[in-house]
């Protein structure tokens, strides 16, 4: 397609072209996921040991990890392999996402593909690591403190896997906030002043979002909402530093 030499943005493409491009990116992602899944499933016991490592040392005496249904062990292994495959494929997924939106970007913005993929992957892994190394040890110790005296804990392996992977993916994704804000600011959709003006609503949304994603306890909600609030404030600085300059003021926009 011809390009606008001044702006470096591709001319408007028909919807069918966008759908074909999306199909191509999805096929690439699925192909990589299948390859990674096969390897992870082959070494699934290693990842099972890793995912259960935070809770096994603090299980109370006589408490166990149990398979409650006949097929639970098999499907748990499949699900774990699929989720680990997604986890390790995130850099490639981010890259494919960037390639899909690249036609709508300016020429100088397309040069940041490596930085975008690196920062997106780094923040995702930082969020996942925060959940695994910080939230889990304190959270599990708190929950299992109720297994005392005549009360013992018998945890379903399938439930435990769903619980921890949901939190790991959730923390990984919410740590993407600065990258998302950077993209929105570059597009001129979001500005630092808008984020400061609506800070109280954003805080409220963060608390509600944390309550939905985490178990119904204050501790885990704070462990998610606290970093999100810090990331929000950092994102304000990102929007201020890298946001696209606008020819009109926000007051003009809202009038």
Question: Is 180 within the bounds of a domain?
Answer: yes
Question: Is 253 within the bounds of a domain?
Answer: no
As a whole number, mean pLDDT of residues 96-120 equals: 74
Whether 3 has a pLDDT exceeding 80, the answer reads no
Q: What is the pLDDT of residue 34?
A: 94
Question: Is 10 within the bounds of a domain?
Answer: no
Question: Is 208 within the bounds of a domain?
Answer: yes
Q: What is the pLDDT of residue 61?
A: 75
SS3 245: coil
Whether 79 has a pLDDT exceeding 50, the answer reads yes
Q: What is the pLDDT of residue 252?
A: 42
pLDDT by residue (tens digit) across 174-213? 888 888 888 777 777 778 888 888 888 888 888 888 877 7
Contact between 87 and 37 (Cβ < 8 Å) = no
Which residue range forms the structural domain that includes residue 88? 15-246
Question: Is 172 within the bounds of a domain?
Answer: yes
pTM above 0.85, yes or no: no
- According to the per-residue pLDDT averaged within each range, which of 82-86, 106-110, 194-198 is highest? 82-86
SS3 136: helix
Question: Is 1 within the bounds of a domain?
Answer: no
pLDDT band at 37 (very low <50, low <70, confident <90, very high): very high
Contact between 113 and 102 (Cβ < 8 Å) = yes
Q: What are phi and psi of 70, to 5 degrees?
A: -60, -40
Burial pattern 74-93, b for ≥16 Cβ within 10 A else e, equals eebbeebbbbbbbbbbbebb
Question: Is 4 within the bounds of a domain?
Answer: no
Whether 253 has a pLDDT exceeding 50, the answer reads no
When comparing pLDDT for 101 and 1, which is higher? 101
Whether 169 has a pLDDT exceeding 60, the answer reads yes
Q: What are phi and psi of 63, to 5 degrees?
A: -85, 150
As a whole number, mean pLDDT of residues 14-40 equals: 85
Q: State the total domains in the chain.
A: 1
When comparing pLDDT for 189 and 18, which is higher? 189
Question: Is 252 within the bounds of a domain?
Answer: no
Helix 157-174 and helix 44-52, axial crossing angle in degrees, nearest 10: 80
């Amino acid at each position: 397609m011809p390009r606008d030499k001044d702006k470096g943005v591709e001319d408007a493409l028909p919807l069918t072209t966008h759908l074909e491009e999306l199909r191509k990116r999805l096929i690439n992602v699925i192909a990589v996921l299948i390859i990674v899944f096969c390897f992870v499933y082959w070494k699934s016991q290693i990842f099972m040991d890793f995912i259960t490592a935070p809770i096994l040392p603090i299980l109370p005496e006589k408490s166990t990890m149990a398979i409650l249904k006949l097929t639970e062990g098999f499907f748990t292994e499949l699900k774990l392999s699929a989720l680990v495959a997604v986890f390790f494929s995130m850099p490639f997924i981010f890259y494919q996402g960037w390639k899909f939106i690249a036609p709508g970007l300016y020429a100088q913005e397309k040069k940041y593909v490596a930085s975008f993929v690196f920062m997106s992957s780094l923040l995702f892994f930082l969020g996942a690591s925060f959940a695994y190394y910080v939230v889990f040890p304190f959270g599990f110790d708190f929950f299992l403190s109720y297994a005392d005296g005549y009360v013992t804990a018998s945890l379903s392996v399938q439930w435990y896997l769903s619980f921890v992977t949901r939190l790991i993916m959730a923390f990984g994704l919410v740590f993407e906030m600065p990258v998302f804000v950077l993209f929105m600011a570059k597009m001129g959709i979001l500005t630092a002043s808008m984020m400061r003006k609506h800070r109280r609503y954003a805080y409220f949304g963060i608390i509600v979002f944390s309550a939905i994603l985490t178990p119904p306890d204050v501790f885990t909600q704070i462990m998610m909402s606290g970093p999100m609030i810090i990331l929000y404030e950092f994102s304000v600085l990102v929007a201020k530093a890298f946001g696209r300059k606008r020819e009109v003021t926000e007051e003009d926009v809202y009038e």
